[in-house]
Amino acid sequence: MRKKNILLISYLIAAVFAFGGMSYKNRLDIERYDRFINNAYQRSFTELVSSINEIDTALSKVKYSTTAPMINAITTQIFGKAMAAQMSLGELPFSDIDLTETAGFITRVGDYAYALSVLTAGGDMPLQKDMENLQSLSLTAAALSSKLTQIEAEVGHGTMSISKLKTSEKRVDRTEENASPTTVGDSFKLIESEFPEIPTLIYDGPFSGHVEAQKPLLIDGMPEVDAETARLKAAEFLDVPLEKTSSIGNRGGRIPAYLVNASTDRGDVTVVVTKQGGVVLSVIDGFSADAANISPEGAVDIAKNFLADHWFPEMHSSYWTVNNNVALINFASVQDGVICYPDLVKVSVSLDTGSIIGFEAVGYVTNHTMRNLPQVIVPEIEAKKVVSPSLTILSHALTVIPTDGKLEVLCHEFKCLSPEGRHYLIYVDAQTGKEKKILILLEDEGGTLTI
């Protein structure tokens, strides 16, 4: 019995040592993983600081540049560094911190620099207002660079940590407002709260101030309607009795609207009606189609008739896609024979029954107006010379296309065929004769997309 007890004790001691060894190994593994993660954060933060510093330096140079080639070289560099800064910022463990100001500044700097690089690539010089904007952006970049460099130094000295952000946030919540930050996350909170005002940038880019503040042109100046009028507009649009509609709320945003529920033969749908003007913005439902009894081309005709019956002027169908036996057709308005692509309307048609099961006119409401179309200076025969001789031109149209900054340009549109059998759309500025945009048509049995 005593011998058995001794063996049992020996096994227990061995198990304790084995468990202790495993625990020690696990602890080492965790420590190694923590070091790996912290080093990755450290590297991303260092790259962020470096990119911001280089943006600051480049902005300091470009404001004294006097030639288009030099400005082009520097703004191209700024754009690249802004992209690198965005990537580095996204790799840091700050998902719970609002970095709207910092991220927004980096995005605007990069986008503005890109717009100026495109401008100067053609030999044009920026306007005086552009140079003033660069001066303002330079001051902001210098301030941000200085703060980030200071944080980097404190991280290097060990007085500030990048990781353990959650713990720090809880500690900061319990301390006084003037407590010194102890992590990079805390410092970013301070930077955000003290971020200087960014100038409003008016340029040809997707983050331009004029895009963010753009008023919907179709309803601009129209009187505001009440919820009952919105119900009436929804009932008329769907051709259902008023008593089959009910108000279910409203929404804000750039185009404030009422939400109306309507009972149709297919079931309930939600109709979004603009508060200003009472225009139907969209019809949302979750209906599907069980079969495809109608061709996509037949669906296009159905959608065209629907738009003609619902107070839309001449519309041009561009491309369609089919998903789950539902055809989604894109339309654009036509003015004086010119296709105006910004005025986008999307109509969904069930290939089972031919019913309209979806409608969306945000692009149309935002952009449609009677345009003062510019004169065609470069005729079609001259614009054709810009198209690559490797492409075969299949068709031509005059179009208005949106730029990245939601500006508009009158273009010759050439649909072309490549030697490989792929379709391209080549857009040539009808006033300058310069190649403006190239799109590739991705075509299969499911429809057409452009890239």
Does residue 375 belong to any structural domain of this protein?
no
| Helix (H) / strand (E) containing 277 | none
Residues 120 and 71 in one domain: yes
Tokens of 427: 């857009």
Does residue 373 belong to any structural domain of this protein?
no
Backbone CA torsion sign across 189, 191, 196, 199: negative
Q: Is 111 exposed, middle or buried (0-12, 13-18, 19+ CB in 10 A)?
A: buried
| Helix (H) / strand (E) containing 214 | none
Count of domains for the chain: 3
pLDDT at res. 22: 55
Q: CA-to-CA distance for 182 and 168, rounded, in angstroms? A: 7
Q: Are 61 and 142 in contact (CB under 8 A)?
A: no
Does residue 372 belong to any structural domain of this protein?
no
pLDDT at res. 33: 46
pLDDT at res. 167: 39
Residues 323 and 422 in one domain: no
- Find tokens 């799109």 and name the residue: 439
Residues 204 and 267 in one domain: no
Give the end of a domain, one of 345, 367, 389.
367
Tokens of 182: 């102890």
C-alpha distances out from residue 395 to 121, 222, 336, 421, 433, Å: 30, 39, 18, 15, 18
Q: DSSP states of 295-318 as a string?
A: -HHHHHHHHHHHHHHTT--SEEEE
Q: 178-181: which pairs have CB atoms within 8 A and are 24 or more residues apart? A: none
Residues 54 and 172 in one domain: yes
Residue by residue, pLDDT tens for the chain (451 residues) are 555 555 555 555 555 555 555 554 455 445 554 555 567 777 888 888 899 999 988 888 887 788 888 888 899 899 888 888 888 887 777 655 677 788 888 888 888 888 888 888 878 888 888 888 888 888 888 888 888 888 888 777 666 666 543 333 443 343 444 445 556 667 777 777 777 666 667 666 666 666 666 789 999 999 999 999 999 999 999 999 999 999 998 888 889 999 999 998 878 889 999 999 999 999 977 666 777 889 989 999 999 999 999 888 789 998 888 887 888 899 999 999 999 999 999 999 989 988 888 899 988 999 999 999 999 999 999 999 999 999 999 999 999 998 776 689 999 999 999 998 888 899 999 999 999 888 888 766 666 655 5
Does residue 219 belong to any structural domain of this protein?
no
Residues 301 and 351 in one domain: yes
Q: CA-to-CA distance for 330 and 368, rounded, in angstroms? A: 15
Residues 9 and 156 in one domain: yes
Instruction: To the nearest 10°, report the CA torsion of 143, 148, 153, 155.
Output: 150
- Find tokens 């037949």 and name the residue: 298
Give the end of a domain, one of 307, 332, 367.
367
Does residue 30 belong to any structural domain of this protein?
yes
Tokens of 174: 């319990």
Residues 271 and 357 in one domain: yes
Give the end of a domain, one of 183, 212, 241.
212
Q: What is the DSSP letter of 99?
A: -
Backbone CA torsion sign across 182, 185, 187, 193: negative
Span 157-167, pLDDT tens digits: 666 666 543 33
Residues 363 and 401 in one domain: no
Residues 202 and 247 in one domain: no
Residue 384 maps to which CATH number?
A: 3.10.450
Does residue 352 belong to any structural domain of this protein?
yes
Q: CA-to-CA distance for 426 and 411, rounded, in angstroms? A: 9
Phi, psi of 274 (to 5 degrees): -65, 140
Does residue 360 belong to any structural domain of this protein?
yes
Does residue 36 belong to any structural domain of this protein?
yes
Residues 125 and 157 in one domain: yes
Q: DSSP states of 131-161 as a string?
A: HHHHHHHHHHHHHHHHHHHHHHHHHHHTSSB
**Residue-number span of the structural domain to which 403 is assigned:** 380-450
Residues 24 and 165 in one domain: yes
Residues 395 and 439 in one domain: yes
